[in-house]
Amino acid sequence: MKIFAIADLHLSFNESINKPMWVFGDDWENHTERLKKAWEEMVSDEDIVLIPGDISWALRLEDAMPDFEWIQKLPGTKILSKGNHDLWWSRIKYMNSLYEDMVFLQNESYHVEGEKIAICATRGWPYPGSDDYTDHDEKIYKRELLRLKMGLDSAVKKAPDAKIIVALHYPPAGQNGPETEFTKMLEKYGVWKCVYGHLHGQIAFGKGIKGNYKGVEYSLVSLDYLNAKPKLLYDGN
């Protein structure tokens, strides 16, 4: 069993939604075809793939269904979490009743069967001191911290000795590893790995924390950063 991650699928298979990604540059040319090919070559039905946000351009849940159907047909169990563009995200109990191999994760933890691994996920938000942060962001920032804490508490309660992988959409800190409330919380709970997306383009790619920082391994997994190939996080060893 392997665990992969890739964020920012930005799907729009609903015919009423016209959001071609190629307008954002060559990295997005035929991105769904390239992703499907790589996914089917790399991922088996026994594997898990984390999708940390910006999954569908749909505004309403019902309009996102064609995108869900496309994801569901791909191999593996998919763990989906919210991004800033996932405005369709609602009625999580209902969403989790739709597919046996797709989990919409929020305020909870997912435990990998047969492995001492737990997965937590939340959207995250711009942190104080980042380029996008204003005083108006404080309320949402604190709420996302609370959502992350709920997931981590769930993981520790269910399996205290599990290795924890956290999937965020926004980067939890900048490239030089300055501490934020997100990184402090990840350190406090002994998180093993943290993946995030949201950053696009060569300049933006360099703005997120990467590598090992105070015991947590950070990885950017935006689709364009990964060239539409899921990133391997765990190979069973």
Write down how long the chain is: 237
Architecture of domain 3-234: 4-Layer Sandwich (3.60)
Mean pLDDT of 222-229: 96
At 12, list the tokens: 């729009």
Closest-CA residue to 86 (of 115, 112, 109, 56)? 56
First and final C-alpha spacing in the chain: 10
- Number of H helices and E strands in the chain, helices first, is 6, 11
Predicted local distance difference test score (pLDDT) of residue 25: 74
Angle (CA) 153-154-155 rounded to 5° is: 90
Q: b/e per residue, 8-31, with b = 16+ CB within 10 A? A: bbbbbbbeebeeebeeeeebbeeb
Mean pLDDT of 80-103: 96
Closest-CA residue to 51 (of 28, 67, 34)? 67
* Residue range 185-209, pLDDT digits in tens: 999 999 999 999 999 988 889 999 9
Q: Using an 8 Å Cβ cutoff, are 191 and 216 in contact?
A: yes
Q: Is the pTM here over 0.75, yes or no?
A: yes
Looking at every residue in the chain, the average pLDDT score rounds to 94
Whole-number Å distance between alpha carbons of 94 and 22: 33
